[in-house]
Structures are given as C-alpha cells and as structure tokens.
Amino acid sequence: MFDILLSIREESESPLYLRIYKQIRERITCGSILGNTRLPSVKALQLQLNISKTPIETAYQMLSAEGFVYSKPRSGYYSVNMGSACSPGIDMPSDAGTLQSPEQPMLREYAIDFHPGSVDHDMFPIRTWKRMLNLALEDYSRSIGKSGDMMGEIGLRRALADYLRSSRGVACSPEQIVIGTGISSSMDLLAKLIDGIDHVAYEEPGFKQVRDQLLSHGYRLIPIPVDSESFQIQSLEDSKAHMVYVTPSHQFPTGRVMPYVERERLLHWANKGHAYIIEDDYDGEFRYFGKPIPSLQSIDRHGRVIYIGTFSKAFTPALRMNYMVLPQSFMSKLTKMSSGLSCPSRIEQWAMQAFIEQGHWYRHIRRMRNKYRRKHDQIIECIRAMFGDKVEITGHSAGLHIQITVRTELGANDLLMLAADKGVRVYDFRQMWMKPNDAGYPRIYLGFAGLSESDMDKGIRLLKEAWSDILI
C-alpha cells in the first residue's frame, strides 16, 4: 500500500472530486506514483482528507474509466504503468462529434426509432438560431456575393480554436482548422492531402461510412479488433498501416473509452513510424461521468494526429457541418489545393460563429449534456428494470447510444424483426464489422438522444414484449 498526500484545500473553483482526480492522475502520468502500485483505499483517503466518500469514489471511478487505474476485486485500486513521458498539464478537455448517418432505406414506418444518429429536436434553440441567421445575413450582406474561403470562415475557425482549446485541450491555430460538410468531406480531403499511404488501419467493428470512404479511395484496410475490453494495439504495431482511424472518446459502436495508456502507446506508434492517427471525436461532448480523457490531439507533440469534430451531435445533424484540425505540416499543401474542398454554407458559418461568440454554444452544450445524462440514466434504469440480467449494458456513460447484449439463442436480425413487429426500430450495426462475428449473444444498439423520455420508456417496454419469449 502506497500513501499519497493530497492537498485539496487549495483555493480552487473546481469540484472536490476533480481536484482529487487531477492530482492522482498527474502523479501517475508523471511517474511519481509507479505503475501497478496499490493506491490508498477510499476509506483511507476519506480519513486523510476529512471529506465524504462520494468525491473520492467519483475520482477513482473516473481514473478507472479512463485507464489510469484499475481495480482488483477485494483488493482495491492500482495505478497503471504509464511508461516514461510526463503528460502536459491539460486543463481537462470536454467535447466534439461526427455525422453518423443511418443505415439507409427506411422502408417501414416505426413508431419508435432508437436511431443512434438522431438528436433531441425539442431542445434545438430555434429562436436563438433564427436570430443568429438573421444577424449573419445582415452583418455580412456585403460578402454574400462572394464564395469566400473554402477552408471555412476565419471568424468561425477562430471561435472554434478557442472552444477546442478550452474544452478538449486541442492546441491549434485557426489556420489549422478546416470547416467541412461531414465526415465524408473530411475523408475525401485527407485522401487528397496524404500521399504515399497504402494501408490504413481501422477499428473492427467501426464506423462503416468511414470504412467505405477509405475503400473508395483505394486504401487497403487493416481491421484492428476492438471490443468493450480492449483495442488490439499490438496487431496495429505488427501491421503495415501508416494511418489509423480511431474513435477514442467513445468507440463507435461499442462505446469503449480508450484508456490513457493506450493513447500514449498509439501516439508512440505514430511517432516511431511517421504514421497518422485520425481521431474522430464524434460525440466527445457527452460524457456523463466525470470529465473526459484528454483527446489524442492534445497529448500529441509531433503533429501525428488529425482531429475531427462535428456539430451533428451537440447541435443538429441537419446543419451538416463539421471540422478537422490538421497538423501544421499539412498547411502548405492545403493552401495549394483548397479549391477541392467541400465547404458548408457561409451564412450558417457566420451564424455559428455568432452563436459561439455570444456564449450560446457553451450554454447549449451544458443544457444538452444535462438532458442527455438524464435520458442516459433513464434508459439504463429502464432496461435494467425490464430485462434484469437477461441483457448486459455496455458502452455507456458517454455518447448518445448504448450497446446491449441480449441473452437469447436467436440472432440479431431476429431481434430486429421482433422489435419491428411492435413498431420499434433498434440497430444491430452488423455492417460496422468488416467480417461480422456472430459468436456469443447478439449485440443491439440503441440511440437515446432523439426520443422523448416517454417514448424511450414505451420503446423499452415494447422491446420487452417483443423479446420476452426468446430470452434465456
């Protein structure tokens, strides 16, 4: 057992759990707490600090979720081996997102659709957004006849650079940001910017839309297996890949959060081999438990990370606006080929700039995070109440969808059909696998952001009815 002296009495506005979390994290990442060291118990820290148990438990749960510590049953928490480098003092990141288009043809009507790409339409700030659009049209009436900068309006890029720095720890100049129309436009642009790469690694399962894009650009794909437990980084290191696409904040679709130590190892791989990491932080704004892990971009010191974020999750997918933060080394090439870019409406970019500058964005994110936290807690509670141990919930505590594993002898497709008969749409995401793996119980995905609380409850209840006879 290792004793740590925490000084939590300092003048600080951040909550107690966060101060505890930060101090332990810092000592682990800097090596002042060595790897695999048993940490003080909750009770011990409680006595030492003379505070309640809750903030200490929260801090440990965060550290555990983010891979700084691990727990051994009936033994307590242990520090993870961080290797050498001391992580820079990031002031806790918090957000981003990407267009997550549905499986197309909606051939039948569903009363309740757990679509993972939908967001809450009731919370959309219609009146404020109208005002921003009107303002944009008036303020920029003299610019409306010109096509503008295809990399995006510099004002919006400035506002975004500020936001990304303060909330995701992403360090970049406005010039490194390219505003795009979604993940497809970002992948198209990257394919044009990056030469000489044949093999691209890819999470298996992963975001099908991106996989299709990579294939259409002629890359050879190397699937790297990922599940709720692990991302097989060793097979990446053994591969020919010089680029990898990852969703570390909330792996799509499994919902796994990539632990800190894996992030460091991934960056190490990229540095060593002059490879690139595409970090798609598609729903990084939404974590319901503590604060997010630093983005890869924020701990990258060698310009190996391409960071992608979106307005589709935190604002609306109807806007079709996203952004990409490119390494400095891409700048000269980018400037030369900027006519091949796919850029969203200038009018909506001006509106978004005003929305951020006037503080509406930050307020909106806070409101949405609270709202989605409630929905997240509610769907989990409801599933537990309805299904008990017949269904295992994973990939939660972040993002806008959860993964459930259903104890049944039927396949995922059967579950979808039974649900559809009750008018409920759920997703099997089989197409997210390059090589679908039918071993084990079927996994089903439920997005909860787009449904009202009552529809969500009703939907789960209908799922229970639909599946009650086939659960084992």
Write out the residues near a copy of itself by the rule CB under 8 A: 99-102, 104-105, 115, 117-121, 124, 126, 129-130, 133-134, 137-138, 140-148, 150, 181-182, 184-185, 188, 192, 208-209, 212-213, 216, 218, 312, 316-321, 335, 337-348, 449-450
Q: Cβ(439)–Cβ(412) under 8 Å?
A: no
2 near 40, Cβ under 8 Å?
yes
Q: Which alpha helices (DSSP H) does 238-388 contain, by range?
A: 260-273, 296-299, 331-336, 346-357, 360-387
Q: What DSSP state is assigned to residue 298?
A: H
Q: Using the minimum distance from each CB to a copy of itself, give the nearer residue, 73 or 218.
A: 218
Cross-strand partners of 244 = 201, 277
CB distance 227 to 256 below 8 Å: yes
- Choose between 50 and 104: whose C-beta lies nearer to a copy of itself: 104
Q: Which is nearer to a copy of itself, 72 or 142 (CB)?
A: 142
Q: How far apart are CA 421 and CA 110, in angstroms?
A: 9
Give least dist CB 428 to a copy of itself, A: 17
For 420, what's the count of Cα atoms within 13 Å in the CB-facing half-sphere?
Answer: 12
Least distance (Å) between residue 95 CB and a copy of itself: 18
Find the shortest distance in angstroms from Cβ 187 to a copy of itself. Answer: 8
Nearer to a copy of itself, 92 or 183 (CB): 183
CB of 210 to a copy of itself, least distance (A): 9
Hey, how many other C-beta atoms are within 10 angstroms of the C-beta on 157?
Answer: 24
Cα 255 to Cα 18, 98, 282, 356, distances in angstroms? 23, 14, 12, 28
Which CB atom, from 61 or from 100, has the smaller least distance to a copy of itself?
100
Minimal distance, residue 144 CB to a copy of itself, in Å = 5
Is the CB of residue 64 less than 8 Å from the CB of residue 288? no
Quote the tokens at residue 157: 């890029």
Shortest distance, position 321 Cβ to a copy of itself, whole Å: 7
C-beta of 230 vs 328, nearer to a copy of itself: 328
Backbone angles phi, psi at 92, to 5 degrees: 50, 110
Asked whether the beta carbons of 255 and 402 are under 8 A apart, the reply is yes
The smaller minimum CB distance to a copy of itself, of residues 124 and 288, is found at 124
What minimum distance in Å lies between the beta carbon of 393 and a copy of itself? 23
Tell me which DSSP letter residue 471 carries. Answer: B
